[in-house]
Structure 1
Amino acid sequence: MEGLKVSDANLIVYLHPSKSMKAVQAILRELSALLFKFSEAFDGVLLAYDVNILDKCAKILPGVHPYFGVRLKAKLLLFSPKPDLLIEGKVVKLTEESIHVIVLGFSSAIISEAEFCKKFEYKIKHGEHRFVSRSQKRHVIKVGTTIRFLIKR
């Protein structure tokens, strides 16, 4: 799928001195806290990581709480959607004004009425909300349908 990329990163994770006995677990906990959140540093959403600790010695930072920094080399799987990118998602909700989609099982997107109103007609059939193509009646968008769409912004 477009929008997914694998990046090699050189990172420094700063840990509190109380975590020095279990540094590996603390590093993994810090990286896990970044999962499924947009990060400007990575320019995307971190989906997975594979870590290799480079140094067994850490650099101690001076200050009131002397944190120490551990250098890492990590392979990161990032979801970084850009304009004019074609992505795929599953429809989870339909309203007369919008289509709500889940991409990759975690990220939501909304397609507004202005983007599809000319090509599709909103109908309710047997209590089920759906959009039916004006040109091809068998082309139907309903909850559970997988659709491909272009990112505008």
Structure 2
Amino acid sequence: MEGLSKSDANLIVYVHPSQSKNVDKAILRELSSLLFKYSQAFDGVVLAYSVDPQDKCARILSGVHPYFGVRLRANLLIFSPKPNMLLEGKVVKITRESIHCIVLGFSSAIITDENIRNELKYKAKHGEGVYVSRYHKRHVIKVGAVIRFEVKR
């Protein structure tokens, strides 16, 4: 799927002195706080990471709280969709005006009526909304279907 990329990053993680007994756990906790949130530094959402500490030494920072910085190398999996990319999502809701879907199990996407192809017509079947193709009767978009769409913005 487009929008997924790997990134090798050289990072410095700042650890509070109270966490100095178990630095590995503190580093993992700090990196876990990046997961499933948009990060401007990586220009995307971090989905996964693996860590390789570079040094056994840490540098103490001067200031009010003497944090220490640990250098490490991390391999990151980043989700960063750009315009004109193709993505796949599972449809979770259909209305006359839009199709709502979930991409990669965590990111929401909405396709509005102005971006839905003209060949698809909205119908209410059995109390649920569906989009049916005017040309191919078996081509139906309903809740639970997986669709492929192009990112506009």
Band the TM-score falls in, shorter-chain normalisation: over 0.9
Partner SS state of residue 83, structure 1 = coil
Q: What are the within-5 Å matches in structure 2 for residues 114-129 of structure 1?
A: 114-116=114-116, 118-129=118-129
Q: What are the within-5 Å matches in structure 2 for residues 79-98 of structure 1?
A: 79-98=79-98
Q: State the shift of 1:128 in Å.
A: 2.0
Q: Deviations over 1:106-153 (max 9, x none)?
A: 111000110015221111111121011122222110000000000000
In 2: Cα distance, 1:53 partner to 1:141 partner: 48
Partner SS state of residue 31, structure 2 = helix
In 2: Cα distance, 1:40 partner to 1:127 partner: 43
Q: Which amino acid letter does the alignment assign opposite residue 37 of structure 2? A: K
Distance change in 2, residues 1:34/1:22 (3 Å): same
Q: Which runs of 5+ in 1 are unaligned?
A: none
Q: What is residue 10 of structure 1 aligned with on the other side?
A: 10
Q: What are the within-5 Å matches in structure 2 for residues 100-115 of structure 1?
A: 100-115=100-115
Q: Give the structure-1-normalised TM-score.
A: 0.97
Q: State the shift of 1:2 in Å.
A: 1.1
Q: What is residue 29 of structure 2 aligned with on the other side?
A: 29
Percent of pairs with identical residues: 69
Q: Which amino acid letter does the alignment assign opposite residue 80 of structure 1? A: S
In 2: Cα distance, 1:105 partner to 1:3 partner: 14
Q: State the shift of 1:6 in Å.
A: 0.8
| Paired residue total | 153
Q: What is residue 74 of structure 1 aligned with on the other side?
A: 74
In 2: Cα distance, 1:3 partner to 1:117 partner: 23
Q: Deviations over 1:89-115 (max 9, x none)?
A: 100011111100100111110001100
Q: Give the structure-2-normalised TM-score.
A: 0.97
Q: Deviations over 1:39-88 (max 9, x none)?
A: 11011110100000111111111101111100010110111100000011
Q: CA RMSD in A?
A: 0.9
Q: Which runs of 5+ in 2 are unaligned?
A: none
In 2: Cα distance, 1:80 partner to 1:117 partner: 25
In 2: Cα distance, 1:40 partner to 1:95 partner: 33
